Amino acid sequence: MIITSISDVHIKESTDSNFSLLKKFFNHEYVRKSDYIVLNGDIFDILIGGKVQYLKKYSDFFLLIESAIKNGSKIIYIEGNHDFHIERLIRKSKKKLGIPDEMFLHIKNYFDIEVDSRLVRFTHGDDVEIENESYRKYKRAINNPFVKFLGDYIVPFSFIEWIGHRASNKSRGKNVKKYELTVEGQEFVKDKFRTSSKLYFKDHSNISGLVCGHSHCKDYFKLDDGKFYVNNGFAPASKSFIKISDAGVEFIDL
């Protein structure tokens, strides 16, 4: 079995360099041979709700999905904090492209795959991170069913795009300066997520592997009991993806 996973690509337009990186991922020989391709959240910089305009704006992305499925891979799209309430959009894409339901799955929280008799959990990682109450309040707010209804049926597409990118840029400006651009910041995030993964394993003893995104900090951490936490980081910076098979875990360069 081969599983490949990428997260935190943060595509804004299908013409930008981040989309080119995702295209390179889908065209990689290991990805083309994958039984599962896991898109582990924040593939887009902003993708909210089920607006049909996304099918046109990101038509090249959905063609990549269609091609991978025709090649025999099962696609798992796990929501992040930049791409959420997208189940309706994925249903529309499957209907438009004639994709079988079981081959393209929308996952709200996490997805488990058994690898060599061990359970590996894929999750965006924001549910794993500890000690971030302000973010948890934000996540509870955006997951409100009323917010989903507004995004799907009431708020215009153009306004969703505007307010989403505005919030994203504001958040990124603060976090990049504080964490991503300094060695100290990266070490802080790495240690925080390693501690978070240890606590997560303690509460979920049946899980042997944890594959996350969200932190924008590339890391592969093995625990003493053989369990592991792995994160590909911010894909445009790491220029890599995760490959998991019976042989183990690897970072593959793009």
- Residue 194 φ then ψ, to 5°: -65, -45
Which of 103, 104, 74, 102 shows the shortest CA–CA distance to 89?
104
Cβ burial, residue 72 (10 Å; 0-12/13-18/19+): exposed
CA distance 145 to 142: 8
Helix axes 87-97, 59-70, angle to 10 degrees: 60
Identify any residues that bridge with 51 across adjacent strands, giving them in sequence order: none
- In contact, 11 and 61? CB cutoff 8 Å: yes
Separation in Å, CA 243 to CA 96, 211, 231: 30, 11, 11
Helix axes 59-70, 17-27, angle to 10 degrees: 10
Which of 110, 78, 117, 109 shows the shortest CA–CA distance to 208?
117
The number of beta carbons lying within 10 Å of the beta carbon of residue 237 is 12
Q: What is the pLDDT of residues 146-199, one digit of tens each?
A: 777 777 777 777 767 766 666 666 566 556 555 566 778 889 899 999 999 999
Higher pLDDT, 30 or 144: 30
217: Cβ contacts below 8 Å, ≥ 6 apart? 179, 186, 189, 190, 193, 231, 233
Q: What is the pLDDT of residues 220-245, one digit of tens each?
A: 999 999 999 999 999 999 999 999 99
Cβ burial, residue 232 (10 Å; 0-12/13-18/19+): buried
Percent of the chain with pLDDT over 90: 70
Domains of the chain in sequence order:
2-253 (3.60.21.10)
